């Protein structure tokens, strides 16, 4: 039985009005109806969806502005539908809002990332058969919704004419194991997803698992993530929930066939349509979004990039609705007004937006050398400078403070690192002139660890005139035990755009872990997720001769 369309309620109109004021979307042009739909897949299961149809005023164009396809695993409730469907329907767009297989009324079993490629193709086939389909569509949605777009673009439909993809990965393996250590936000995300339809869970319990609200996170989950062996500890907590999490843990090799259906770099090779990418400097997927832009831009694809001073939740859509409306209006109707240059970048420190023809822009390298007495300087250190060292204890791991976490991330005061004995902190003298960095900073270290089974967490922060440190960019890497420690270890940090003002200081932070952002190194040859044996690791960095350096991509205009 097909449900009839339902007109927007008064309460819905009020919610849309208040939401519109918050996100700056501008005035509505119409109301809309919503129709519940079931979409058949090739294997017989059906996906639940809502179809939004604008109620166009008399005398307006006969057809809607365009059709937007949204695939979502987080339900179709008021909050998420406002940002991804309703705000567009109230401005003349059709929107098909589909729940991912195994979620929110859709049939089948939820297995993150594995079915989106085939299911999205089946949705498009079904759309083409509908009387309201006018021949083309665009795709939209952040995070997992964006991943679903990359899965569709693995085999791009010819009638898909544009895509808006904020804060989203195209490669699930890269996120889970790309550093060589397991990304533990996969556990908190899996906890949220496995409880999404649990009517017995309290409101606060469900709220606690929304990314960005870590202050409500379950202490039981925190204890499970901190337990050893990690896999056993998580198994006791999850029971039979989130079976995919344990598949992740059992496949640390990103090239394993398990990940094939969850990796969509092919989409970057095949996509030809205009694409708007949106990210934040403190998003959990920033590195992948920057990679997507560079790859597509080099191919000559019409791709635009916006990077703000945002976390994952902030970058998902709270501050970019006007850009999305302009972009979709331009590429669905050819009479919109999206005229921005390829890259629009927020430069922290100067706190201003910049328009650029590409990202990163041309820069010149400036080198800061690691010095004795925990300092950084523009001149090489003395030839006999003593090495610096610290000990990482897996049973008391160095904590994650801010940065690119799914929750509890962002630009924060990370001064506490300077007081820890398991962290090396190198800080420059106050700068005598502004220094602006644009792109990927790199750290070159002559480094060794005993035992050789170890990780490195490297961060660049800024210390202000009051001695308070705030993070800018970072990198995590599990080290190759057999590497040649006589050669520099080259670590390329995540891209950033930051202006160090006169009087501020550059700080380099080096640690052996960042927990609970990443599964800690246990210091042994054994599997880090299945062992409870731990060995403390002594890290040593050679300083003499200027062999350990921080390379800055400086703005040549400074």
If asked whether residues 115 and 242 sit together in one domain, one would say no
- The residues with which 71 forms a beta bridge, in sequence order, are 98
If asked whether residues 13 and 87 sit together in one domain, one would say yes
Q: What is the pLDDT along the chain (558 residues), one digit of tens a residue?
A: 578 999 999 999 999 999 999 999 999 999 999 999 999 999 999 999 999 999 998 755 578 999 999 999 999 998 899 999 999 999 999 999 999 999 999 999 999 999 999 999 999 999 999 999 999 999 999 999 999 999 999 999 999 999 999 999 999 999 999 999 999 999 999 999 998 765 444 444 444 434 444 434 689 999 999 999 999 999 999 999 999 999 999 999 999 999 999 999 999 999 999 999 999 999 999 999 999 999 999 999 999 999 999 999 999 988 999 999 999 999 998 666 667 789 999 999 999 999 999 999 999 999 999 999 999 999 999 888 999 999 999 999 999 999 999 878 999 999 999 999 999 999 999 999 999 999 999 999 999 999 999 999 999 999 999 999 999 999 999 999 999 999 999 999 999 999 999 999 999 999 999 999 999 999 999 999 999 999 999 999 999 999 999 999 999 988
- Residue 365: CB atoms within 10 A of its CB come to 9
Report which secondary-structure segment, H or E, holds 475: strand 469-478
CA distance 180 to 530: 15
Q: Is residue 311 part of a domain?
A: yes
pLDDT per residue as tens digits for the range 513-549: 999 999 999 999 999 999 999 999 999 999 999 999 9
Q: Is residue 83 part of a domain?
A: yes
The Cα-based distances of 193 to 132, 210, 243, 386, 389 in angstroms read 33, 10, 11, 50, 41
If asked whether residues 157 and 15 sit together in one domain, one would say yes
203-226 exposure pattern, b = at least 16 Cβ within 10 A, e = fewer? eeeeebbebbebeebbeebeebbe
Cα Rg, the chain, nearest whole Å: 25
DSSP state of 249: H
Domain count, the chain: 3
∠393-447-475 over CA atoms, to 5°? 70
Q: Is residue 1 part of a domain?
A: no
Query: Burial, 272: exposed, middle or buried (Cβ in 10 Å; 0-12, 13-18, 19+)?
Result: middle
If asked whether residues 437 and 543 sit together in one domain, one would say yes
Cβ atoms of 234 and 225 closer than 8 Å: yes
Q: Is residue 308 part of a domain?
A: yes
pLDDT per residue as tens digits for the range 324-339: 999 999 999 866 666 7
CA distance 476 to 484: 19
SS (H, E, C) 498-511: EEECCCCEEEEEEE
CA distance 390 to 510: 9
Of 199, 222, 251, the last residue of a domain is: 251
Contacts of 413 (CB under 8 A, 6+ apart): 468, 469, 470
CA distance 197 to 303: 37
Going by C-alpha positions, the residue among 159, 138, 142, 54 that lies closest to residue 321 is 142
Of 315, 331, 355, the last residue of a domain is: 355
If asked whether residues 88 and 157 sit together in one domain, one would say yes
- Residue 239: CB atoms within 10 A of its CB come to 8
Q: Is residue 378 part of a domain?
A: yes
- Residue 105: CB atoms within 10 A of its CB come to 15
Contacts of 512 (CB under 8 A, 6+ apart): 390, 392, 398, 422, 449, 454, 455, 456, 457, 521, 537, 539
If asked whether residues 200 and 333 sit together in one domain, one would say no
Cβ atoms of 83 and 23 closer than 8 Å: yes
Of 213, 235, 251, the last residue of a domain is: 251
Q: Is residue 266 part of a domain?
A: yes
- Please give the residue range of the domain that contains residue 413: 364-525+533-554
479, two tokens: 């080290």
Helical H runs in 24-137?
Answer: 78-81, 87-89, 116-128
């Amino acid at each position: 039985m097909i449900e009839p369309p339902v007109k927007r309620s008064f309460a819905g109109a009020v919610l849309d009005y208040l939401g519109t004021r918050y996100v700056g979307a501008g005035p509505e042009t119409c109301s809309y109806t919503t129709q519940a739909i079931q979409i058949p897949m090739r294997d017989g299961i059906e996906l639940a969806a809502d179809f939004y149809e604008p109620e166009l005023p008399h005398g307006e164009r006969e057809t809607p502005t365009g059709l937007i396809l949204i695939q979502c695993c987080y339900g179709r409730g008021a909050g998420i539908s406002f940002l991804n469907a309703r705000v567009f329907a109230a401005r003349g767009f059709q929107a098909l809002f589909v729940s991912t297989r195994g979620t929110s009324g859709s049939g089948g079993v939820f297995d993150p990332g594995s079915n989106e490629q085939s299911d999205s193709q089946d949705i498009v086939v079904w759309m083409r058969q509908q009387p309201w389909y006018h021949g083309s569509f665009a795709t939209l949605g952040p995070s997992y919704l964006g991943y679903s777009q990359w899965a569709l673009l693995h085999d791009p439909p010819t009638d898909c004419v544009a895509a808006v993809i904020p804060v989203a990965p195209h490669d699930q393996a890269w996120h889970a194991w790309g550093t060589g250590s397991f990304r533990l936000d996969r556990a908190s995300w899996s906890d949220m997803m496995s409880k999404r339809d649990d009517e017995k869970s309290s409101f606060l319990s469900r709220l606690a698992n929304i990314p960005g609200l870590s202050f409500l996170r379950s202490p039981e989950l925190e204890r499970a993530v901190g337990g050893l062996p990690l896999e056993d500890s998580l198994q006791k907590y999850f029971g039979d929930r989130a079976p995919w999490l344990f598949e992740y843990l059992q496949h640390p090799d990103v090239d394993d066939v398990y990940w094939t259906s969850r990796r969509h770099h092919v989409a970057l090779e095949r996509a030809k349509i205009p694409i708007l990418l949106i990210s934040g400097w403190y998003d959990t997927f920033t590195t992948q979004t920057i990679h997507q832009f560079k790859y597509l831009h080099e191919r000559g694809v019409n791709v635009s990039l916006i990077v703000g001073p945002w976390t994952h939740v902030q970058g998902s859509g709270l501050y970019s609705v006007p850009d999305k409306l302009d972009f979709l209006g331009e590429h669905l109707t050819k009479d919109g007004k999206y005229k921005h240059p390829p890259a629009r970048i927020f430069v922290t420190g100067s706190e201003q937006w910049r328009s650029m023809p590409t990202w990163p822009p041309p820069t010149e390298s400036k080198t800061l050398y690691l010095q004795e007495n925990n300092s950084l300087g523009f001149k090489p250190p003395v030839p006999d400078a003593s090495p610096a060292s610290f000990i990482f204890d897996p049973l008391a791991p160095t904590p994650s403070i801010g940065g690119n976490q799914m929750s509890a991330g962002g630009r924060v005061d990370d001064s506490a690192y300077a007081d820890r004995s398991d962290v090396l902190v190198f800080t420059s003298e106050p700068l005598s002139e502004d220094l602006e960095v644009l792109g990927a900073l790199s750290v070159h270290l002559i480094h060794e660890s005993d035992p050789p089974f170890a990780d490195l967490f490297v961060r660049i922060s800024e210390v202000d005139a009051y001695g308070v440190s705030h993070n800018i960019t970072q990198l995590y890497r599990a080290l190759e035990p057999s590497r040649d420690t006589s050669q520099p270890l080259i670590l390329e940090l995540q891209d950033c755009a930051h202006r160090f003002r006169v009087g501020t200081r550059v700080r380099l932070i080096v640690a052996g872990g960042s927990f609970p952002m990443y599964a800690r190194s246990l210091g042994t040859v054994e599997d880090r997720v299945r062992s409870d044996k731990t060995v403390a690791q002594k890290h040593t960095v050679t300083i003499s001769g200027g062999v350990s350096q921080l390379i800055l991509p400086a703005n040549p205009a400074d």
